[in-house]
Structures are given as C-alpha cells and as structure tokens.
Amino acid sequence: MLNIVKRRTVDLLVQQFWKEGYLTIRRRYGTYLPEPDRIGSFEVDVIAKQWKNYAIGLTLTADDFKNSRLIEKLTFLSTRQTKYSNKRVQLFVGVTTDYLERAKSIVKLLSPEAKRNTKIVQIEDRDMSRLKVSNIGQKVLFS
C-alpha cells in the first residue's frame, strides 16, 4: 500500500514539473524512464531538465518528517551544481496539504543559499479532494 501511495505522489510531482516546463529525464517508480542515481547518500525521486537548467524532485512523507537528517538532506540537495558549468540545480520538494506548513517551517531553517534553490510544491490527489463531506448528502442532478 505504501508503494502505491509513494508512486502516486511521484506522479503528481512529475505533473508539477511538466507545468513548470521541465522535461523528466529520470524518475522513480516509472515504466519507461530509468530510476535516478543516488545524489551523495540520498535518494531522489525525479531528475528533470529545462533547456540547460536541471532540477531535482523529492517527495516528503510522514516518515521523512520524523527523520533527524531531513534538514541535512534538504541542505545537501539544494546546494548542488551541475558538473561542468557549475549552474545551480533547483530542488522541488513535493508535500501533501497536511505537511505543507511543516515543510515551509523546515525550509526557513536552511541557509539563504539553500532557501533560494528550494521550491515547495503542494501535491494533491484531486480524486480524493473532490469528494467533500458537504457533497455527500446532496441530490444527484444527472445520472
């Protein structure tokens, strides 16, 4: 079950990359693209490219927020540069609505350089969000 949830969050993060104009090069839990290599000692979920600019995608779950090395992981990944041109690599951190505020507070603890390269992206599964409690008791107009 956890694998399905993690796969769905990576899919939603890839959609956010597409909205920003990035082309996905590597992704975790994909069918056709290869899985990304470890960066340092950390696993990432997506590697993307927009012209000559690269980006790293990472999804955070409840277990990640309990990990004591989360700030170290975010700092390390957000300060990466390309190998030859030394361009900064943007870090996209995908979090669900439940953990959005917690992620923002953690990013505030990072260095100014790491903050500039980190972008928090809210990933939400629209299938679940459409079903609201207020809509359950209403009459169906069309069937």
Neighbour-count burial of 6, counting CB atoms closer than 10 A to its CB (0-12 exposed, 13-18 middle, 19+ buried): middle
Q: What percent of the chain has pLDDT over 90?
A: 23
pLDDT of residue 132: 47
Mean pLDDT within 116-120? 91
Q: What does pLDDT average to over the chain? A: 84
pTM, two decimals, is 0.80
Q: Which two tokens stand for residue 71?
A: 């700030």
Q: Domains along the chain?
A: 2-126 (3.40.1350)
Q: Is the pLDDT of residue 136 over 80?
A: no
Rounded CA-CA distance 78/6 in Å is 22
pLDDT of residue 81: 84
**Nearest to 62, CA basis, from 14, 37, 99, 89:** 99
Mean pLDDT within 67-87? 87
